[in-house]
Amino acid sequence: MDVKLTSEQLLKSTKDTIAIFFLKDHIKTNEIISKFTPELKTLLQAVIGECEFTAEPDQCIPVHTKTNPRMILLVGCGEKAKFNHERARLALSTAIRTANSLNAKELSVSITVPETDSEDAVISLAETAHLCTYKFDTYKSEKKPIKLNSLILADAPEKDFKKLTQSLQAGNVLGSLTIKTRDLVNTPPDVCTPDYFADYAVKLGKEYGFKVTVFGKKELEKMNMQGILHVGAGGAHPPCLVTAEYKGGKGKKIAFVGKGVCFDSGGLDIKPANGMDTMKMDKAGACTVLHVLAGCAKLGLKGNYLAVMPLVENMPGNLAYKPGDLIVTRSKKTIEVLNTDAEGRVILSDALFYASEQKPDYIIDVATLTGACIVALGNSVAGLMGNNKELAEMLKSSAAKRYERVWEFPMDDDFYEMIKSDYADIKNVVSNTPGSGAGTITAAKFLEVFVNNTPWVHLDIAGPAWAIQEKGYLSTGATGFGMRMLLQTAIDFSG
């Protein structure tokens, strides 16, 4: 999708289609319409009356004008009191879907969005254009490509044009890298093996200008990464560790760590069919942090950024790791395996410790870690945990800017007591008897052991990484959740 910014007035910005956003409270006094020609004003007022347009969220009425622009979409945005930048994203998604279904090629909207400053509006509208037109159709023999290929953001004041052009670039980078993230998460597990991921990362690094290093199985052995090697032992495709690095100046160093389980069958503690069919998504954390690095490079941010991605297949087999295994990780801390399906924390033990050895100011990890997090927060909100209040607040604020929702869990010491092991330092599950509780927090307490006191935040994205149905600007399958809030975090730290 091509997104352009123009200082032209909305009405004159295209001959094709424009969309106007309406608040319920201002249907009759909409500022944008007040600038229209008397003929168009009369036409729109008549349609609003006839169609009983009430500006409910997602209501969208097309009006054919017989002049330029040929079509005007009246889009509902609900009440003023409940309006925010997310409502603007949803309204634009509705407008884009409707315009496309009515064969429009070009759609124009005003950047004068209620309750939103123009820079925020441009970023949010531009990112949405990419997000809501995405569909994973690589494997469909009959594709239905989207006909609408251009979005114009009109009414940009001349005096702000330069700064709004930067906002447009940020929105384009946020949106386009999120759909690249979705594509990689959606790539099926017979294709996206650890090796494939590593090759993809190398290519992306060349394209966007960041350094990628791949540590293969032999190197992992030398590096004592027994957590990654144990989990990866059952897969026919060997494990690896991929790192990506971008140095933009003397700013803070942030290490992003992402869980990269290319397929999670559960291993010997095998999952039932209804828990396994979406498990190609278990690499979403790694896909996210890789594309965050691409965003840092593309935007030329001023900090130092590192991404660490442990990649494995979690499979049963005669070499597979076993319940009862006692693993000596790179950090020398030992893990008792009680359940091979709690594999994410085992590979992250080595990845987080390796990240801490690079002496970053902050570590942020992203992982589809626990089903318990879905029980607690559902499919739209990620769990947030950590060891540092300021960093947690920073992430909450960056997440709110992009409307990726997070919710913080407590991390008191008694949760750590629950994962102490009789034979090793810690165990990878509290117990195999259901009902021990706090599955999301005890997983985070496990991870905390390996960050070596570095200020750290963990995001459990098991719920929001995957969409069961098309909704708003999400299509079925991978959502790319985390990419936008983490690139926003990098931008915010960049100052």
Work out whether 447 is an interface residue with ligand BES (CB under 6 A): no
CB atoms within 10 A of CB 208: 18
Binding region for Zn ion (CB under 5 A) out of 119-127, 211-219, 254-262, 421-429: 254-262
Work out whether 448 is an interface residue with ligand BES (CB under 6 A): no
**Which alpha helices (DSSP H) does 142-263 contain, by range?**
161-186, 194-208, 217-222, 226-232
> Pick the catalytic residue: 217, 271, 322, 396?
271
Give every CB contact of residue 10 below 8 A, 6+ residues apart in sequence.
Answer: 18, 20, 32, 108, 109, 110, 154, 155
x/- track of binding to ligand BES for residues 210-249 (CB under 6 A): ----------------------------------------
Helices (H) and strands (E) in the chain, counts: 15, 20
Separation CA 412–CA 442 (nearest Å): 10
Work out whether 460 is an interface residue with ligand BES (CB under 6 A): no
The nearest distance, CB 268 to Zn ion, in angstroms, is 11
Work out whether 342 is an interface residue with ligand BES (CB under 6 A): yes
* 8 A C-beta contact, residue 446 and residue 259: no
First and final C-alpha spacing in the chain = 29
The answer to whether 271 is a known catalytic residue is yes
Binding region for ligand BES (CB under 6 A) out of 70-78, 194-202, 322-330, 335-343: 335-343
Binding region for ligand BES (CB under 6 A) out of 92-100, 212-220, 366-374, 401-409: 366-374
Name the helix (H) or strand (E) containing 394: helix 389-402
Closer CB to Zn ion, residue 183 or residue 341?
341
x/- track of binding to Zn ion for residues 357-386 (CB under 5 A): ------------------------------
Residue 401: closest CA among 291, 491, 298, 304: 491
Cα–Cα distance list, 493 to 177, 250, 301, 325 (Å): 19, 12, 9, 41
* 8 A C-beta contact, residue 281 and residue 185: yes
* 8 A C-beta contact, residue 263 and residue 315: yes
Work out whether 282 is an interface residue with Zn ion (CB under 5 A): yes
Which position among 341, 350, 404, 460 is part of the footprint of Zn ion (CB under 5 A)?
341
Residue 482: closest CA among 258, 277, 308: 258
The nearest distance, CB 269 to ligand BES, in angstroms, is 7
The answer to whether 445 is a known catalytic residue is no
Closer CB to ligand BES, residue 179 or residue 429?
429
* 8 A C-beta contact, residue 291 and residue 177: yes
Which position among 183, 245, 264, 350 is part of the footprint of Zn ion (CB under 5 A)?
264
**Residue count, binding to Zn ion (CB under 5 A):** 5
> Pick the catalytic residue: 97, 345, 405, 427?
345
Work out whether 371 is an interface residue with ligand BES (CB under 6 A): yes
The nearest distance, CB 477 to Zn ion, in angstroms, is 17
What are phi and psi for residue 430, nearest 5 degrees?
-65, -45
The nearest distance, CB 402 to ligand BES, in angstroms, is 21
Sites of contact with ligand BES (CB under 6 A): 264, 282, 339, 341-344, 368-372, 429, 439, 462
Q: Mind telling me the catalytic residues?
A: 271, 345
